[in-house]
Amino acid sequence: MNKVTYFILFLVINFGGLALGSWLMNNGPTSDWYLGLNKAPWTPPGWVFGVAWAFIMLCFSWYLAELFSDRKSKFLWTIYGFQVILNVGWNWVFFNQHFTVLGLAIISLLLLVILYFFITFRSDRLKYAKYLLLPYIIWLCIATSLNAYVVVYN
């Protein structure tokens, strides 16, 4: 596959994952449960989440197109698949099932997986592409802190 084909493939998978995760939320941020939580003072307005995730998935898809054009392995597909499961699964665990502690564990693991991508795959060809992961890493740090706040103060 060429880079453009990979980019389109990852756009479909990543935005499909966002759609599935949103569907699994059970009204997520508009649910009575979530609205009743004691949320962190730095919790951004709701519209920021959609904008952030759209930008993150565009950057992540571009990064993955670069990565998979350079390297192809079952192991890489496995790590990526695990990331998709964690990303989608967090929505169901946190918003639908209200398992905030398990949600914190999942989102922390997701952050570690994305950091693994950032640290591990840095060949000459990928040394600049890895910076496409920074929006994802920054957002996961914020989201992890928001989840941790809910665990500690609710």
pLDDT digits (tens, 9 = 90+) for 61-101: 999 999 999 888 999 999 999 999 999 999 999 999 999 99
124 pLDDT above the threshold of 80: no
Residue 121: pLDDT over 90: no
Q: What is the pLDDT of residue 28?
A: 87
Rounded mean pLDDT of 39-60? 96
Spell out the CATH class of 3-153: mainly alpha
Q: Cβ distance 24 to 92 under 8 Å?
A: yes
DSSP assignments along 31-78, one per residue: SHHHHTS---TTPPPHHHHHHHHHHHHHHHHHHHHHHHHH---HHHHH
pLDDT > 80? residue 125? no
For residue 71, the one-letter residue type is R
Residue 24 sits at φ, ψ, to 5 deg, of -80, -5
The domain ranges of the chain are 3-153
**What is the spatial distance between Cα 19 and Cα 6, in angstroms, rounded to a whole number?**
20
CA angle 119, 117, 131 (to 5 degrees): 75
CA pair distance 129, 19, nearest whole angstrom: 26
pTM: 0.95
CA distance 17 to 88: 6
Residue 96 carries which DSSP code?
I
Angle between helices 46-70 and 134-153 (to 10 degrees): 130
Q: Both tokens of residue 98?
A: 């209200």
